[in-house]
Amino acid sequence: MVTLDDLWKRGQDFLSVRYPIMCGAMTWISESSLVSAVSNAGAFGCLAAGNMDTELLAQEIDQTFILTKNPFAINLIVIAPNYKAHLEMAIQKKVPFIIFAAGMPKSSEIQMAKESGAKVLCFASTESIAQRMIKNGTDGLMLEGSEAGGHIGHVSLAILIQQVLFKVDSVPIFVAGGIGSGKLIPYLLLMGAAGVQLGTRFVVAEESKAHPKFKEAFIRSRARDAVATPQIGSELRVVSVRALQNKGMHDFSELQMRLIQMIRHGEITQEQAQYEVEKYWVGALRRAVQEGDVNQGSLMAGQSVGLVDRIQPLSEIINSLLKDAEDELLRIQKRLGNARMR
């Protein structure tokens, strides 16, 4: 009888955890208390750097080390204005895992991270990027489909599985995007994933410090309410963001148009415009998460929000994911056994 431990052993060994279920890094949500709670439960927490003040990030790293003795990661946003300072801080603090997200890190940055003793994970949205990151020295890959929340690529997880997971085996690959139920986990593992990452499901954990209004917005939303921001014009190198529709999403479209006009008139550079885009999202997300501004704030959520229906203790969420995964794996094996008997 095949067990989950048989299927995700590569992920267990790579992350040094009991359950290679990663809690995705969510700015203002994935802070020290939630990250440590996830890691203490036997799963894998990821601290979100976002564009946090570097000294505040240092405090969050220190606090996470105090709250858990288990492995955790720091997720660095490559396009964030504070990115380089964040990388230096993660290296200085010797965070055990460094994840590069929302952009492609330089090979020298990957090597710097590895020389600190950290294991490195990089996001890959195509086979060519996956191969490039492997060539540059990443220890593992994250495949995140466009179903996910926050900064996203343009390709669904179903396509990324066929483009990358089925073709690359030299490093462990973790998958994310649209995963809200444990029933999906064994299928992803059988296809070759070393583990899975969820974000949206953990937002409504009791241990999450997200504002009650933020959590309530998730509970009452449907999958189709989580939409990706459109790119207006080609002047701005905007990374799409998936969030629940509200006035904040409309305001972002207007911001893009204003910035494009400023670029065209020479009033601002592309780099400065990109900074304004990230500044907008960081501020809008903070207002929603910390202050409960669900109208003009940013409600970053994946399409799996349609599978979220209540606030639960973190341990209950993880136990539910495990039970559903184990039950589904048993059902798969029974179906295969019945098929052989025909």
Q: Which pTM does this prediction carry?
A: 0.91
Q: Please state the rounded mean pLDDT for residues 190-195.
A: 98
Q: Report the C-alpha gap between 277 and 68 in whole angstroms.
A: 34
Tokens 């995964």, residue located: 325
- Kindly report the number of other CB atoms within 10 A of residue 273's CB atom: 21
- Kindly report the number of other CB atoms within 10 A of residue 44's CB atom: 28
159: pLDDT strictly greater than 90? yes
Q: Please state the rounded mean pLDDT for residues 276-302.
A: 89
Q: Vertex 278, ends 275 and 279: CA angle to 5°?
A: 80
Q: Could you state, in order of their start, the residue ranges of all structural domains in the chain?
A: 4-209+309-332, 212-303
* Strands 241-244, 226-228: pairing kind: antiparallel
CA distances from 68 to 161, 208, 239 (A): 33, 16, 33
238: pLDDT strictly greater than 80? no
Q: Please state the rounded mean pLDDT for residues 194-206.
A: 96
Which of 54, 108, 116 minimizes the C-alpha distance to 86? Answer: 54
Residue 117 CB-density burial (10 A; 0-12 exposed, 13-18 middle, 19+ buried): exposed
340: pLDDT strictly greater than 90? no
The reported pLDDT for the residue numbered 209 is 93
Residue 234 CB-density burial (10 A; 0-12 exposed, 13-18 middle, 19+ buried): exposed
Q: Report the C-alpha gap between 280 and 334 in whole angstroms.
A: 51
Q: What percent of the chain has pLDDT over 90?
A: 73
The reported pLDDT for the residue numbered 275 is 79
Which of 22, 340, 3, 16 minimizes the C-alpha distance to 179? Answer: 22
In the numeric block, which tokens belong to residue 125?
């949205």
The reported pLDDT for the residue numbered 140 is 97
Least confident of 89-93, 190-194, 216-220, 227-231: 227-231
230: pLDDT strictly greater than 70? yes
User: Which H or E element spans position 320?
Assistant: helix 314-341
The reported pLDDT for the residue numbered 204 is 95
Q: Report the C-alpha gap between 254 and 252 in whole angstroms.
A: 5
DSSP characters for 90-109?
HHHTT-SEEEEESS---HHH
170: pLDDT strictly greater than 90? yes
pLDDT category of residue 231 using cuts at 50, 70 and 90: confident
How large is the C-alpha radius of gyration of the chain? Answer: 20
Are 180 and 308 in contact, with CB atoms under 8 Å apart?
A: yes
Q: Please state the rounded mean pLDDT for residues 203-208.
A: 95
341: pLDDT strictly greater than 70? no
Q: Report the C-alpha gap between 99 and 113 in whole angstroms.
A: 10
339: pLDDT strictly greater than 70? no
pLDDT tens for 51-94 read 888 999 999 999 999 999 999 999 998 888 889 999 999 999 99
50: pLDDT strictly greater than 90? no
Q: 3.40.50.1820, 3.20.20.70, 3.30.200.210, 3.40.640.10: which CATH number matches 4-209+309-332?
A: 3.20.20.70
Residues 6+ apart with CB under 8 A from 111: 137
The reported pLDDT for the residue numbered 63 is 97
Least confident of 69-73, 122-126, 145-149: 122-126
Question: 121 - beta bridge partners?
Answer: 99, 140
User: Which H or E element spans position 204?
Assistant: none
Q: Please state the rounded mean pLDDT for residues 97-101.
A: 96
15: pLDDT strictly greater than 90? yes
Where helices occur in 75-226 by DSSP H, the ranges are: 83-92, 107-115, 127-135, 157-160, 185-190, 200-203, 212-220
pLDDT category of residue 342 using cuts at 50, 70 and 90: low
Are 23 and 202 in contact, with CB atoms under 8 Å apart?
A: yes
